[in-house]
Amino acid sequence: MIMKVSVILTSYNKPDFIDRVLKSMMEQTYSNWELLIMDDSSDEDTIQKIQPYLDDERIHLYAHKVHPAKRLLTVRYATLINEALTSITGELICYLTDDTLYHQDRLQKMVDVFQSNPHIDIVYSSQRVVHVDKHLVETMSFVREANQILEHASFQVDHCSIMHRRRLLPLIYEKYGQYWDDEPKHWHHADSVFWMRLNDFAAFYPLNEVLDMTYKTPHSFHHLFSSMPYDLIDGTVIEKDGEYYQIAGGKLHEIEKCWVNEKNRRAIRVPSLCAMKYEKKDRLEVPNYTVVTADHGNTFFYIEDQKKRRFVSKRDVQYFQFRPKEIYTISNEQLQMFEESGLIQASPVFSPPNRRLFKWKQDVYLLMHHTFCRIDPEVVKRFAFYHQPIKLYPSQFTLFQEGKPIIPLYMESLQEFDMSLYNTSGRKHS
């Protein structure tokens, strides 16, 4: 019996790599395979690199169209894999990304294990992980070893290092109602979530040989999304092609350069994928979370949700850590356009401005829409908050409700796992 292997390759804009990936398939010493290229609307360059390989009848291209705004709604590779799993014809399945090369014996060696061990359902092998810079020059590399039978393979084994029998699929589907979990919080770990499902039914058997080599490029999600929460924080100013935008109320609003450059508001760069999901709306004359004065510093206002809140005194401006260079002068007419909405003061009634950092016990909180959201230090850094957290007294902290913590996306997914089950020393993303 010669077993057929279905290889599912997810592809998105890696013109520099895809050719080598496909070549590594063509060079396999084992020939009974099919390759499903699940392309996620790649650029022309990438498609052109794929084209010549389509002459091989084992290779099939599934070209997906995805609207840019929809790209972050699911873990795209998991969504594409789920679709591929409904069309495969092999008894053995493995996964490949467009920045990973299989060793030429990879399929042969894994198939051999299945042929001679009918009780084994999943095999994994060692992997070389290579980090490269933007010129594709190696900056560091290490080997992720496959040296033991794993009952809990999540976070130890990569996307591209396993092969499993097809017979596990209906079991998973029956239990979970789907194969791979493509909820967006799993962007970094959807493979580990799937391994957990596989582990419900079988253990991972090791093949202690490096059979694939995966590259981490500056464009990979791993790098782009580290420290990014799923949603951009309201009020964030981003720069894109020389234009500036502010996230306000879940929409992207253009703002004048003067609000960013002359003063101390820092614009951050975010992966274009993150910005694409926000609909563009009209320009804001004065961005939110800006301190303004129209009478040369006698009275100060804070613009929040396109309304103005008056600081009771200049001391309150200082108390909440606004520095002189963050204060903008606007005209009286401009100020009049904003509806009044409450006061800002430190005491006697603690009425703080939103989008300021506060410190309570060991943690930093961001006040957002009048709730204290614990914010991870990595996110504080990534979003370029430039003031010191303001220390809170117990009576102040309890005045507001606690909101959803603002943490990097990968941490959100990790919270679902019982990490004590895994050897996290070699913790991995995707």
Q: Which residues bind Mg ion (CB under 5 A)?
A: 97, 99, 220
> Is the Cβ of residue 160 or residue 317 nearer to ligand UDP in the bound state?
160
> Would you call 191 a catalytic residue per the annotation?
yes
Total number of residues that touch ligand UDP (CB under 6 A)? 16
Instruction: Compute the least distance from the CB of residue 11 to ligand UDP, in Å.
Output: 5
The reply to whether 99 sits near ligand UDP by the rule CB under 6 A is yes
With beta carbons less than 8 A apart as the criterion, state whether 212 and 202 touch.
no
- The catalytically annotated residue of 181, 191, 212, 316 is 191
Taking CB within 5 to 8 Å according to partner kind, which of ligand UDP, Mg ion, none is near residue 412?
none
Residues 107-136 that bind ligand UDP (CB under 6 A): none
Q: Give the SS3 label for residue 254.
A: strand
> Is the Cβ of residue 11 or residue 192 nearer to ligand UDP in the bound state?
11
> Is the Cβ of residue 16 or residue 256 nearer to Mg ion in the bound state?
16
Taking CB within 5 to 8 Å according to partner kind, which of ligand UDP, Mg ion, none is near residue 40?
ligand UDP
Taking CB within 5 to 8 Å according to partner kind, which of Mg ion, ligand UDP, none is near residue 80?
ligand UDP
Kindly give, in sequence order, each residue whose CB lies less than 8 Å from that of residue 284, ignoring residues fewer than 6 positions away. 246, 248, 253, 254, 255, 306
Site string for ligand UDP, 31-70 (x = CB under 6 A): ---------x------------------------------
- As a whole number of angstroms, the distance between CA 427 and CA 430 comes to 10
What does the radius of gyration of the chain's CA atoms come to, in whole angstroms?
26
For residue 146, how many C-alpha atoms fall within 13 Å in the half-sphere facing its CB?
25
Q: Give the SS3 label for residue 375.
A: strand
With beta carbons less than 8 A apart as the criterion, state whether 157 and 195 touch.
yes
Q: Give the SS3 label for residue 396.
A: helix
- As a whole number of angstroms, the distance between CA 222 and CA 227 comes to 10
Instruction: Compute the least distance from the CB of residue 71 to ligand UDP, in Å.
Output: 5
SS3 string of 90-131?
CCEEEEEECCEEECCCHHHHHHHHHHHCCCCCEEEEEEEEEE
The reply to whether 12 sits near ligand UDP by the rule CB under 6 A is yes
Residues that bind ligand UDP (CB under 6 A): 10-12, 40, 71, 76-77, 80, 97-99, 220-222, 429-430
Which residues are identified as catalytic? 191
